[in-house]
A and B are shown apart, each in its own frame.
Chain A
Amino acid sequence: MTMTPRRRRLYWVLGILAGVALAGTLALQAFRSNVTFFFDPTQVSAGAVKSGQRFRLGGMVEKGSLVRQAGQLEVRFAVTDFKSTVKVRYTGVLPDLFREGAGVVAHGRLNTDGEFIADEVLAKHDEKYMPPEVARSLKKGEPRSGN
């Protein structure tokens, strides 16, 4: 069987295309199953999140909601958008800029009681900074008086 240069080049191109297509498919697959969406407390309360789905919850840490038993790592707080609130439970070190009344984004899942079990909590480095999604969802949630 002879391989003319043209035919060989054809195999080459086909091989590369197949490789690229395979890589693309796998990457897309990884992308689909690993993307996390952002929800605000109102959406969560309305049941917009599928059960067991990992997502990001963002809003403000409700004032006076932070509870911790002395000496325990586990902490509970509530995230609010001034319309609804979601209770959050987290076991781990909180970021430096985490505080009541400040913006926060938590990654995790809802448990069966509608409590959000966070595995990662983020507060950004600038105290004036608010994650854009949080800012937008708070703007939607106006009026914010009464809180």
Chain B
Amino acid sequence: MIPEIGHFALILALLLALVQAGFGLLGPRSGQPRYVEAIPFAVAGQFVFTALAMGCLVTSFVQYDFSVKYVAENSNSALPLFYRISALWGAHEGSLLLWIFVLSVWTVAVTIKSRSLPQSFMARVLGILGLLSVGFLLFTLATSNPFLRLDPAVPDGRDLNPVLQDFALAIHPPMLYTGYVGLSVAFAFACAAMIEGKLDQTWARWTRPWTTLAWSFLTAGIALGSWWAYYELGWGGFWFWDPVENASFMPWLVSTALIHSLAVTDKRGLFKSWTLLLAICGFSLSLLGTFLVRSGVLVSVHSFAADPTRGIFILAFLVLVIGGALALYAWRAPLLKSQAGFEITSRESFLLFNNILLVIAAAVIFGGTMAPMVSDALGQGALSVGPQYFNPSFLLPVLPLLALLSVGMHAGWKRGNLARVRRPVLGTLALAVALSVAVCFGAYDFDAVLMPVGVALGIWIALSALVDPIDRLRRGLSLPAGILGMSVAHIGLALLTIGITVVQSATKELDTAVAIGSSAKLGAYQFRFDSTKAMEGPNYSALQAQVTVLHGGKVAAVLAPQKRSYWVQQSPMTEAAISARWDRDLFAAMGEDLGNKTWSLRLQVRPLIQFVWFGALIMMIGGIISGLDRRYRVPKEARDVELVAGAAAAGPAA
């Protein structure tokens, strides 16, 4: 019964999404306010029904309803409760349901928070969001219904894929999707502005917090995925340029550009059509990401399904949405000319560079990700593109980006006088270089030229990001949340830069055969393989090794990596052991039993890898601080001011 309710709820949600799209796009034209006024009810109803559908699927999982195909394929009676719930988005159908639910949550948030925006504009925004919802609901109901029954029911389920039974991966998809789908708000605002043919600075002010918040979630989602890949997959790295990683990274790069270009549109009324284009591209790339991941055209850990009808449906949807938006852009964007000019050393031009470089970086990744598909489609042979391409090509635009960032932060709007900011720029640079040289020579025996460069750039950014807030505090000025958030996010980027640089150039790794009782040396550390013992988990049995890591004769860590065998799926799985400290991670994973009481072990020492995760976390916090700045709540404040003024006027009279 419960799955049928869920299915029915999805159909009702589709009908309401159609109402929302129809009334939203046609309502403002009809001149009849009742259509527009009905939209929030459609939005609320759609939210209720998608939430109900989610609830039904969760209930089926929690209650072990193996008559539901999706549950039977992704759960098992021995699966712990937490993973039975997260199994909801462990595969294709449930992920789509999650996507729809997240879109519905964003739509509700936009409806509530933007009540005071012009009615026709809001109607169009909600209409566009409704259209997207229609597309995804249709897709789910037609090709990927998670509520299908299995006849006859199976006695027990096939279990959730063991690599997905993990905490970070349980929360990675919701975070990532919140980010992905959040970009649809900026997209809808852009389309609505183009339909209205009107785009001013207030438009940018409305769009900014949504974009920044979506970006924050995207940052967190990508970082969680990367963290998971690092400790769970046991490949011993945090970024592999896997097509699916790239699929989430491209919208991140473009939305980063969008945040900065929106700042220019907001402050100076410039870059209007460019901002629109970025808003369209950002969301298009997150749709493309869905296509890449879900259609099975790419070889990846993530590709769940290889069902051609699904691929064709998503492709058609993609063409419709992106093509439609770009056509609208071609038709309307020329109306939105910017008037003002700016000087070469002004903040505008630095932000222009930021945008160009970020877009180049995204394009480079796009090329490398799509090349295998294109080559395959053209019959040119199956090729693959690896880190040997991505690393240098990505650094090419990113190094100047990081270098220009520190200078650009000091430049003023419209007329930047570089002579006036020479002191902070050169001062921070000199300090950064000195610190970097000290760190690189003092702490690490570096052999890569890029190491001191990357560390210096990171430190320079962090110092530069501190200059403005400190200056403001010293002069007794207020520190608006927008500026504070920006500084925090840039400091996060600085930590990320330092972390990635040091991890990439000073990591030591070794695959080696070690007999029980003997040890292997890696850098300054000694990994001693003590013993192995059998043990059991809730739904797996495992062989656990004990590896003691010695540093200078003292015990630095005792690691317990496991080789697990999950009962249901019978697949072996390596559970790496990591000892994390702020300045380094010690990593050990078990390979195979080589005979003669000898095992192959994968051992690694990764300095400063915590900086990567914390850098991303701080960037996310910066984004949230900035997105919640009161300045963006202009209409409400304006209303409050009116009220206060009214009360003040009424006061003396009384």
Contacts and interface: CB of A to CB of B under 8 A. Distances in A.
Nearest to B573: A96
Interface string A6-42: 0010001000100110010011001101111110000
A12 B282 CA distance: 26
Contacts of B368: 31
Contacts of A34: 385-386, 388-389
Interface residue range, chain B:
35 or more
Interface in B433-471: none
Interface string B506-523: 000001110100000000
Contact of A36 (B364, B384, B396, B600): B384
Contact of B381 (A20, A23, A38, A94): A38
Nearest to B571: A127
A130 B364 CA distance: 28
A70 interface: yes
Residue with the greatest number of chain B CB neighbours at <10 A, chosen from A31, A33, A70, A92: A31
A125 interface: yes
A131 B381 CA distance: 14
A73 B514 CA distance: 9
A91 B356 CA distance: 43
Nearest to B572: A96
Interface in A68-110: 68, 70-73, 91-94, 96-97
Contact of B364 (A27, A33, A71, A125): A27
Interface of A is mostly: mixed
B602 interface: yes
A91 to B, nearest CB: 7
Contacts of A127: 569-571
Contact of A27 (B383, B393, B569, B601): B393
Contacts of A91: 511
Interface string B298-312: 010100001000000
Contacts of B341: 5
Contacts of A27: 364, 367, 393, 396
B382 interface: yes
A61 to B, nearest CB: 14
Contacts of A72: 513, 594
A72 B515 CA distance: 10
Interface residues of A, number: 36
Nearest to A33: B388
B396 A70 contact: no
A142 interface: no
A73 B360 CA distance: 43
B118 interface: no
Contacts of A125: 161, 163, 301, 571
Contact of B591 (A93, A97, A126, A132): A93
Contacts of B301: 124-125
A57 B33 CA distance: 65
B383 A37 contact: yes
Nearest to B381: A37
User: Residue among B344, B356, B388, B596 with the most chain A CB within 10 A?
Assistant: B388
B397 interface: yes
Nearest to A99: B572
A35 B344 contact: no
Contact of A70 (B344, B364, B594): B594
B237 to A, nearest CB: 12
B371 interface: yes
Contacts of B513: 71-73
Contacts of A36: 383-386
Interface string B573-604: 11000000000000001011011101011100
B596 A71 contact: yes
A104 B17 CA distance: 45
Contacts of A20: 356, 360
Contact of A16 (B356, B397, B596): B356
Given A27-B367, A125-B301, A73 B571 contact: no
B476 interface: no
A73 B344 contact: no
A96 B574 contact: yes
Contacts of B388: 30, 33-34
Nearest to A92: B511
B383 A38 contact: yes
A94 B591 contact: yes
A56 B389 CA distance: 16
Contacts of A131: 299
A23 B382 contact: no
A26 B393 contact: yes
Looking at B299, B385, B574, the one whose CB has the most chain A CB atoms below 10 A away is B299
A20 B360 CA distance: 8
A97 to B, nearest CB: 6
Contact of B571 (A26, A31, A93, A96): A96
The 6 closest A-B pairs by CB, nearest first: A70-B595, A93-B591, A34-B388, A38-B382, A71-B596, A73-B513
28 contacts: A20-B356, A23-B360, A27-B364, A27-B393, A31-B368, A31-B389, A31-B393, A33-B388, A34-B388, A37-B383, A38-B381, A56-B382, A56-B384, A68-B595, A70-B595, A71-B596, A72-B594, A73-B511, A73-B512, A73-B600, A91-B511, A92-B511, A92-B600, A94-B591, A94-B600, A97-B571, A127-B570, A132-B299
Interface of B: 161, 163, 299, 301, 306, 341, 344, 356, 360, 364, 367-368, 371, 381-386, 388-389, 392-393, 396-397, 511-513, 515, 569-574, 589, 591-592, 594-596, 598, 600-602
Given A27-B367, A34-B386, A93-B589, 15 more contacts: A8-B344, A27-B364, A30-B392, A31-B367, A31-B368, A38-B383, A68-B595, A71-B515, A71-B596, A73-B512, A73-B594, A93-B600, A96-B572, A124-B299, A125-B161
